[in-house]
Structure formats: structure tokens, C-alpha cells
Structure 1
């Protein structure tokens, strides 16, 4: 990434998450990105782990991932995430996975989120408090969205 992503977690790849070829099963790259995205959202005040406390639901509607390197069992991986776009009712979060030992980039991509009403399941504005928390952590997004 050209910009430093604001939130990082380090995870250890479990043997059971690998495939018959000995590397991380392709879908599990996305699991690591999604789990880290959820942790970042928690630090911003969005209760993704307890939806009854959240002001709305957040649906992931699109995922992109470029696989750039091989990740194997027991590797320690730094997973970094951050928002790169804020719209009215949607946002894009970028992720990057790097091997801790040599900083090799293993994957990078994005998750597009849509904020929706819990009852109608129709898109709504990104909650003001959540938007403010994102901008506080990522001031470069201040002019984005409306």
C-alpha cells in the first residue's frame, strides 16, 4: 500500500487453515482480513461482535483480493486495515497481509461495506458517530461522503 493503514493485528496461521498444497487456503486470507476489519470497527465504537448494540447492520457487498505471496502454516502474519473511501451509505476498507519475518506482502484487497437498517434492510447513512470516529482515526477522509 502506498499509505500506512491505521490498524494492525498479528495472527499466527494455524495448520488447520492450510490446504493440501501446504499453504493458507485462499478463502482464509479473507477471513483474516474480515476478522481484523471487525476488530478495527470495534476500536471505532461499532459493536460488530454484538449486533444488538450496533445502530445498524453492515453488509459486506464486494470483496477483492490479489494473492501476491505464499503463506504457510505457523507463519506470523501482520494484517493491516483501514478505510479508503466513505460514501453516504457505503465505505471501502482496504487490507494488506504481510509475513512478519520478512515483511513480504502476501495479499492485498478491499471490502465494500453497506450500512443498512436492521428492520428494513435498506441502506442508510453511515451513522454520524461512526463516521466521526473513522475521521478521527483517518483525518484524510474528512471531505469524503456527505
Structure 2
């Protein structure tokens, strides 16, 4: 298995819909939150744009819902880079319920690296590429 970053989050009542399970968009919110922590762990603070080599825009979000979860469930979210291209990268994620290891969701974010002045795609900075290269997520 390749290196991944993971955190466990608890589904709050406000994360659920009127049917009592987690609202579909919140799967992406959970994945994005853990992805942000992963980037901080790697040394990139994307919240301080003036100290960045470029912007990173999410151009596409994809999620396959496999099973529902409910308020109070603990959800393990794993993220890792699956692909690093010339001007973009794909960050994959998977989610499982801690209590029974049920697969809940899996998906990806397509990220585009963008020049801060022109707002056009630019090459992935070498410092970023070096930190992310060789990291992938196991697809189950």
C-alpha cells in the first residue's frame, strides 16, 4: 500500500439531511477538510496566498457513494495524490466507517496549478512536485 494521510471525523447532526444520513455534499466537505490538513502536513499553507508559488484551483470533484452514514458515526478519511501532471494533479480520497470498516465513499479532486497574475495554468512548481511525487492512494 502506498503512503496516505488520514484523519477520523465524527458526523455531526448538522451534517445530516432530513432522512437522517449524511447529506451527499458533505462527503466532499469531509474529503476537502482532510486534504487541506494533508497539505499543511506536507508544509504547504494554501491559506496564505502571498507566500505561495501559485494558486491551486479545484477544477473537478468526483464522488462515488457506496454506503450511508449517520450522525455520530466516526468516519476515517484517507487522501493521497494519484497523479501529478504538468499543470494539474489528482488527489484521491476514500472514506470508511470506523465501527465496522464499511466503505462509504471514494472519489477525487482534480487540481489545476494557476499563475497568480495571469490566472492561467502553469507548471506544477518543482518544490511541490518533489513533495508529492510517488504518493498514491489504494483503490479498493
TM-score calculated relative to the size of structure 1:
0.88
Instruction: Work out whether 1:24 is the aligned partner of 2:22.
Output: yes
Higher relative contact order (CA 8 A, sep 6+): 2
Moved over 4 A (4+): none
**Residue equivalent to 1:46:** 44
**Residue equivalent to 2:78:** 80
Q: Deviations over 1:55-96 (max 9, x none)?
A: 211000011110000110011100000001110010001100
RMSD value over aligned CA atoms? 1.4
Q: Structure 1: state its 5+ residue gaps.
A: 141-146
**Residue equivalent to 2:125:** 127
What is the rounded CA distance, in whole Å, between the counterparts of 1:44 and 1:4 in structure 2?
A: 16
Offset at 1:5?
Answer: 5.3
TM-score calculated relative to the size of structure 2:
0.91
Offset at 1:4?
Answer: 4.7
